[in-house]
């Protein structure tokens, strides 16, 4: 029983990480139908910038805030110079642009920072908490809490504010939204900025567990993307559930089947879910108008 519990804790730890990354994908997709592959890089930038500002002598809380601001600015620049300029391009082109952006950001991080691994101190105590014979790190709970809070905040913003209504309108029908006076470019830009901020916060929270380096973003983006599709793209709750489920699948596969194939098992399960429910667990069924 203690073993099973430990596997679950491991799954929750990793799953919370995937969930935080996945949530970042959702907002941009909702506003602009773009899957932003540079989301992983936003996460990496949050962590790395905080680390290096810390090395430069800046107190960590300030460094964290500065890192979030820097990453948000980068998200805005990405939107303004890449996505907005290519307005009207089809989905595949936009995806490739974000892939190009992720390569660019990774290359810049390689030069500006360095090629080694770095860590951040955990937010709370670093002693693990023992529950039922299994141990979980306090930081894992921080990450889970962080994900839940962000999902909640997103829901409040989208559902309860005028800005949120504008986002829903833009994602439903961009032309109609413009017709009623919504500046869609501002809305989508704001969503990019917000996603970048979420990514940066995610990076700061997960670095104490996962460590970070200039190329940490790629794997995170891959897993985050898989999690988001499992949960159903377009739903923040789906992203969180998808992330946690993916983490649990991996941990249980590693514990009970084979650690070498845990990623394979996770992907196979995702594929099976997609064949049965092509819109993911929480996604809306797409109605294609002829």
Partner 1 sequence: MTVVAPFDRFRMLQHYRLISLIPLAAIILLLPLLFSSAYYYRVAALVFIFAIATLGLNLLMGFAGQVSLGHAGFMGIGAYAVTIGPTHFGIPPLFSFLLGAIFSALVAFVVGRPILRLKEHYLAVATLGFGVLLAIVFTNEASWTGGPDGMTVPGLTLLNWSVRSASSWYWISAVSFLLGAALALNLVDSPTGRALHAIHDSEIAARVLGVDVAQQKLIIFVVSAVYGSIAGSYFGLINGYITPDVSSFLRSIELVAMVVLGGMGSVIGSLVGAAVLVILPQALTLFHDYEHIVLGLIVMSVMVFLRRGIVPSLAAAFGGRRE
Partner 2 sequence: MMENLRLAAALGVGLATALATGPVSAQVKVGAVLSVSGPASFLGDPEKKTLDIYVEDINAKGGFNGQKLQLVLYDDGGDANAARTFATRLVEEDKIVAMVGGTTTGTTMAMIPVFEDAQIPFISLAGAIEIIQPVRNWVFKTPHTDRMACEKIFADLKRRNLTKVALISGTDAFGHSMRDQCISVAPAANIAIAEVENYGPGDSDMTPQLTKIKATPGIQAVINTGFGQGPAIVTRNYRQLGIEYPFYQSHGVASKQYISLAGSAADGVRLPAAALLVADKLPDNDQQKPVVVAYKNTFEVKTGQAVSTFGGHAYDGLMILAAAAKRAGSFDKAKVRDEIERTRGYVGTGGIVNMSPTDHLGLDLSAFRMLEIREGDWTLVPDSGS
Which parts of this chain interact with partner 1 (CB under 8 A)?
35, 82, 85-86, 89-93, 95-97, 99-108, 110-111, 218, 222, 225-226, 229, 233, 260-261, 263-264, 267-268, 270-271, 274-275, 278-280, 286, 288, 290
Q: What one-character-per-residue DSSP string does 27-76 give?
A: HHHHHHS---TTHHHHHHHHHHHHHHHHHTT--HHHHHHHHHHHHHHHHH
Whole-angstrom distance, CA of residue 172 vs CA of residue 193:
20
Closer by beta carbon to partner 2, 105 or else 191: 105
Closer by beta carbon to partner 1, 90 or else 180: 90
Whole-angstrom distance, CA of residue 108 vs CA of residue 116:
14
Work out whether 264 is an interface residue with partner 2 (CB under 8 A). no
Smallest separation (angstroms) from partner 1 to the CB of 270:
6
> Exposed (0-12), middle (13-18) or buried (19+): which is 81, by Cβ within 10 Å?
exposed
CB 46 within 8 A of CB 203: yes
CB 234 within 8 A of CB 26: yes
Binding residue for partner 2, selected from 62, 219, 271, 272, defined by CB under 8 A: 219
> Exposed (0-12), middle (13-18) or buried (19+): which is 61, by Cβ within 10 Å?
exposed
Q: Which two tokens stand for residue 278?
A: 């092509």
Q: What one-character-per-residue DSSP string does 166-204 give?
A: HHHHHHH-HHHHHHTT--HHHHHHHHHHHHHHHHHHHHH
Residue whose token pair is 């773009």: 34
Work out whether 211 is an interface residue with partner 2 (CB under 8 A). yes
Smallest separation (angstroms) from partner 2 to the CB of 116:
6
Whole-angstrom distance, CA of residue 76 vs CA of residue 195:
10
Work out whether 102 is an interface residue with partner 2 (CB under 8 A). no
Smallest separation (angstroms) from partner 2 to the CB of 219:
4
Binding residue for partner 2, selected from 206, 230, 240, 249, defined by CB under 8 A: 206
Work out whether 135 is an interface residue with partner 2 (CB under 8 A). yes
Smallest separation (angstroms) from partner 2 to the CB of 272:
22
Closer by beta carbon to partner 2, 120 or else 150: 120
Q: What one-character-per-residue DSSP string does 218-253 give?
A: HHHHHHHHHHHHHH-TT-HHHHHHHHHHHHHHHHHH
- Part of the chain binding partner 2 (CB under 8 A), chosen from 7-15, 91-99, 189-197, 272-280: 7-15
Residue 26 binds what, of partner 1, partner 2, none (CB under 5 to 8 Å, by partner type)?
A: none
Of residues 110-129, those binding partner 2 (CB under 8 A): 110, 114-119, 126, 128
Residue 7 binds what, of partner 2, partner 1, none (CB under 5 to 8 Å, by partner type)?
A: partner 2
Work out whether 148 is an interface residue with partner 2 (CB under 8 A). no
> Exposed (0-12), middle (13-18) or buried (19+): which is 60, by Cβ within 10 Å?
middle
List of residues contacting partner 2 (CB under 8 A): 3, 6-7, 9-10, 13-14, 17, 110, 114-119, 126, 128, 134-135, 137, 206, 209-211, 213, 215, 219, 251-252, 254-255, 259-260, 262-263
């Amino acid at each position: 029983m203690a073993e099973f519990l430990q596997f679950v804790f491991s799954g929750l730890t990793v799953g919370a990480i995937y969930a935080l990354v996945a949530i970042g994908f959702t907002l941009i997709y909702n506003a602009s139908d773009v899957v932003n592959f540079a989301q992983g890089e936003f996460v990496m930038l949050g962590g790395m910038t905080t680390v290096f500002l810390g090395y430069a002598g800046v107190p960590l809380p300030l460094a964290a805030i500065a890192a979030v601001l820097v990453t948000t600015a980068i998200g805005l620049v990405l939107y303004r110079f890449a996505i907005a300029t290519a307005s009207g391009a089809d989905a595949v082109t936009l995806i490739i642009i974000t892939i190009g952006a992720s390569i660019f950001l990774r290359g810049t991080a390689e030069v500006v920072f360095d090629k080694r691994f770095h860590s951040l101190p955990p937010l709370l105590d670093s002693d693990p908490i023992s529950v039922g014979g299994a141990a979980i790190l306090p930081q894992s709970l921080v990450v889970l809490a962080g994900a839940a809070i962000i999902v909640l905040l997103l829901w409040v913003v989208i559902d309860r504010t005028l800005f949120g209504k504008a986002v829903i309108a833009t994602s439903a029908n961009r032309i109609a939204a413009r017709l009623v006076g919504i500046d869609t470019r501002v809305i989508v830009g704001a969503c990019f900025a917000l996603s970048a901020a979420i990514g940066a916060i995610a990076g700061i929270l997960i670095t104490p567990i996962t460590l970070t380096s200039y190329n940490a973003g790629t794997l995170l983006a891959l897993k985050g993307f898989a999690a988001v599709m499992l949960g159903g793209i377009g739903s923040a709750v789906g992203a969180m559930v998808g992330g946690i489920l993916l983490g649990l699948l991996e941990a249980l596969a590693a514990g009970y089947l084979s650690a070498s194939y845990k990623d394979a098992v996770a992907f196979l399960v995702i594929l099976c879910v997609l064949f049965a429910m092509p819109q993911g667990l929480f996604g809306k069924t797409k109605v294609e108008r002829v």
